[in-house]
Amino acid sequence: MISTETTLAGYHFDNCFMNAAGVYCYDAAELNQVQASMAGTFVTKSATVMPRSGNPEPRYQPTRLGSINSMGLPNEGLPYYLDYVSQQQKAVPDKTYFQSITGFNIEEDEQLLAQISASDFKGVVELNLSCPNVPGKPQTGYDFEMVERILTRVFTVYHGPLGVKLPPYFDIVHFDQMAAILNQFPLAFVNSVNSIGNGLKIDVATERVVIKTKHGFGGIGGDYIKPTALANVHAFYQRLNPAIQIIGTGGIKSGQDAFEHILCGASMVQVGTALQKEGPIIFERLTRELQTIMAQKGYTKLSDFRGKLQYLD
Does 191 engage in binding with ligand SIN (CB under 6 A)? no
Q: Which of 16, 25, 131, 264 is catalytic?
A: 131
Contact pattern for ligand SIN over residues 212 through 231, marking x by CB under 6 A:
-------x------------
16 is catalytic: no
Judged by DSSP in three states, 13 sits in: strand
DSSP per-residue letters across 16-83: SEEEPTTSS-SSHHHHHHHHTSS-SB-BPPPB-SS-B--SPSP-EEEETTEEEE-----B--HHHHHH
CB closer to ligand SIN, 34 vs 302:
34
- Chosen residue from 16, 39, 113, 131 binding ligand SIN by CB under 6 A: 131
All residues at 6 or more sequence positions from 213 whose CB lies less than 8 Å from its CB, including other chains:
55, 56, 59, 70, 72, 133, 135
Question: Under rule CB under 6 A, how many of the chain's residues touch ligand SIN?
Answer: 15
Does 195 engage in binding with ligand SIN (CB under 6 A)? yes
CB closer to ligand SIN, 216 vs 307:
216
Q: CA 305 to CA 300: how far, in whole Å? A: 10
What's the one-letter identity of residue 96?
T
Q: For residues 307 and 264, is the Cβ–Cβ distance under 8 A?
A: yes
State in angstroms the smallest separation of the CB of 159 from ligand SIN: 25
Q: What are phi and psi of 100, to 5 degrees?
A: -90, 140
Q: CA 92 to CA 110: how far, in whole Å? A: 29
Stated length of the chain: 313
Candidates 173, 163, 222; CA nearest to 196 is: 222
Contact pattern for ligand SIN over residues 133 through 172, marking x by CB under 6 A:
x---------------------------------------
Of the candidate spans 83-91, 130-138, 146-154, 202-210, the one that interacts with ligand SIN by CB under 6 A turns out to be 130-138
For helices 172-182 and 144-157, angle between their N-to-C axes, nearest 10 degrees: 20
Candidates 301, 176, 283, 295; CA nearest to 239 is: 176
Does 128 engage in binding with ligand SIN (CB under 6 A)? yes
**Residues in 13-42 at the binding interface with ligand SIN, rule: CB under 6 A:** 22
CB closer to ligand SIN, 131 vs 269:
131
* CA distances (Å), origin 8, targets 55, 124, 243, 267: 33, 9, 10, 7
State in angstroms the smallest separation of the CB of 71 from ligand SIN: 3
State in angstroms the smallest separation of the CB of 138 from ligand SIN: 13
CB closer to ligand SIN, 15 vs 133:
133
Contact pattern for ligand SIN over residues 45 through 84, marking x by CB under 6 A:
-x----------------------xxxxx-----------
| Chain residues that interact with ligand SIN, rule: CB under 6 A | 22, 46, 69-73, 128, 130-133, 194-195, 219
Which residues does the annotation mark as catalytic? 131
